[in-house]
Amino acid sequence: MILDIINNGAKYQSIHPLFKKAFDFLTTADLESLPFGKIELEGSNLVVIVADLIGKTKEEARVETHNRFIDIQVPIGASETMGWIARAKLKQPTSEYNEEKDIAFFADKASNFITVKPYEFIVFFPEDGHQPGIAVGNHKKIIVKISV
């Protein structure tokens, strides 16, 4: 997991070949005016999802994992709290892994919580269980999916 501001994204370009393109997009696009939906930057290997997040409580938010994608999550309209737990510690799956959506959910709760402010980003790797969406009200959120 990584937490930083999007203007520092260039520092992380060596982690993955598509990080440069992802952070170039995040630092040059007018994120506030992007329409909701999906933008393919590099086919299905690098996808930007512009979402209207409906805030949840810690109790409502579920821990999730991904096998094929790294998430870069950027709240735009408001701060969002996100939980983290090592994937190896997850013991309570609530669903089978959905290969089409690349997601599995767990009843476990995060061991750590971080408030991510607008235009900060958090990176979740497949090794990271994460519990996103903890917020009051709705706000715009950018989720970049990068194929591992």
Share of the chain above pLDDT 70, in %: 100
pLDDT single digits (tens) 27-60: 999 999 999 999 999 999 999 999 999 999 999 9
pLDDT single digits (tens) 69-100: 999 999 999 999 999 999 999 999 999 999 99
Superfamily of domain 2-29+39-147: YhcH/YjgK/YiaL (2.60.120.370)
Residue 142: predicted pLDDT: 98
Residue 32: predicted pLDDT: 96
- Sequence-distant (6+) residues with CB within 8 A of 116 are 3, 73, 74, 75, 79, 80, 81, 82, 122
Mean pLDDT of 101-120: 98
Residue of 112, 57, 48, 65 lying closest to 85 (CA atoms): 112
